[in-house]
């Protein structure tokens, strides 16, 4: 089943632990994936580990609250072996603040619930996912349970970011997990245009059976991201040329891009060179008309 819904959280873990996950979810995943070994690097109240142990799965539970930092410490080094399944359930969107609130007296700088902004969170969760991947046996599964979040009318898709930052050929399944007893946004529902979020995602990736070295895996991820950026530039320049009637001089293209793509520009100080490179290296998309004048290729 790709939709999981358990209103009851079962006897596992601690029902008073804020942001805990129903043990039935882990039970379902373990029944489906049949791992013999499992690690949860953000175990919270220990729900997943209790379920795993009951099912005779060798289980390792780690958490920042007990001295394991998934942003600094290697999971595989800490537990001393690779496992067949690693699943994290990170805090996101500052819905529940952990260090200084649920545990400890001070905010911990590595606590994902204290991420400064969305980008900081996306980067940190990617590090956690890579850490989990490195602790997974070849052919094993690594994944995360994560929701999306709307605040002040702005929707952030944490799950979409995870998918876009991890190797696309390793994505194995996307499950929907219904969320029960969600308080946030409920009281404003009557006034809201869009429904409040009542689900999370369970994203599962499969590490290839034949793994390259860690470095070449990372290099191939970087190439994937760079290809994505290149194709985004192609789409931007093409859209700009379309809006300029199908052909334009470079100065007009620069001006239109500056007007329409401020985020991209902020991220790339050499954006004018990037536009020229995009025009010059995609003859299926763009064709020169004259010196400094370009049109959409036929």
Ligand X SMILES: C[S@@+](CC[C@H](N)C(=O)[O-])C[C@H]1O[C@@H](n2cnc3c(N)ncnc32)[C@H](O)[C@@H]1O
Whole-angstrom distance, CA of residue 219 vs CA of residue 210: 16
SS3 at position 171: strand
* Residue with the CB atom nearest ligand X in the bound state: 44
Hey, which bits of 91-236 come out as E strands? Answer: 136-147, 149-151, 154-156, 171-178, 199-206
- Least separation, in Å, of the C-beta of 195 and ligand X? 23
Residue 91 or 140 having the CB closest to ligand X:
91
Whole-angstrom distance, CA of residue 136 vs CA of residue 82: 5
Residue 15 or 232 having the CB closest to ligand X:
15
Residue 19 or 295 having the CB closest to ligand X:
19
- Least separation, in Å, of the C-beta of 56 and ligand X? 20
- Least separation, in Å, of the C-beta of 266 and ligand X? 28
Residue 39 or 70 having the CB closest to ligand X:
70
SS3 at position 273: helix
Instruction: Locate 88 and state its tokens.
Output: 């994290």
Q: How far apart are the first and last CA of the chain?
A: 46
Binding-site ranges for ligand X (CB under 6 A): 13, 17, 19-21, 41-42, 44-45, 47, 63-65, 68-71, 89-91, 98, 110-113
- Least separation, in Å, of the C-beta of 265 and ligand X? 33
């Amino acid at each position: 089943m790709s939709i999981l819904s358990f209103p009851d959280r079962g006897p596992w873990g601690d029902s008073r632990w804020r942001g805990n996950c129903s043990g039935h979810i882990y039970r379902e995943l373990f029944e489906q994936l049949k791992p013999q070994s499992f690690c949860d690097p953000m175990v919270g109240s220990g729900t997943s580990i209790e379920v795993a142990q009951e099912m005779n799965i060798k289980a390792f539970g780690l958490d920042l609250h007990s001295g394991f930092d998934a942003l600094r410490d290697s999971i595989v080094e800490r537990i001393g072996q690779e496992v067949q399944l690693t699943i994290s359930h990170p805090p996101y969107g500052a819905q529940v603040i952990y260090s200084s609130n649920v545990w400890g007296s001070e905010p911990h700088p590595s606590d994902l619930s204290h991420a400064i902004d969305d980008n900081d969170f996306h980067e940190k969760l990617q590090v956690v996912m890579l850490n989990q991947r490195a602790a997974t046996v070849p052919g094993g599964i690594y994944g995360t349970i994560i929701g999306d979040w709307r605040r002040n009318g702005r929707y952030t898709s944490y799950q979409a970011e995870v998918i876009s930052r991890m190797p696309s050929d390793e994505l194995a399944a996307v499950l929907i997990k219904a969320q029960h007893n969600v308080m946030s946004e409920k009281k404003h529902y009557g006034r809201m245009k869009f429904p409040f979020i009542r689900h999370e995602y369970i994203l599962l990736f499969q590490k290839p059976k034949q793994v390259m070295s860690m470095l070449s895996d990372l290099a191939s991820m970087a190439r994937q991201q760079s290809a994505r950026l290149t194709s985004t530039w192609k789409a931007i320049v093409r859209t700009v040329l379309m809006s300029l009637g199908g052909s334009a001089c470079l100065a007009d293209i620069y001006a239109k891009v500056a007007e329409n793509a401020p985020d991209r520009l902020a991220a790339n100080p050499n954006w004018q060179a990037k536009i020229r490179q995009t025009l010059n290296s995609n003859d299926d998309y763009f064709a020169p008309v004259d010196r400094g004048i370009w049109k959409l290729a036929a």
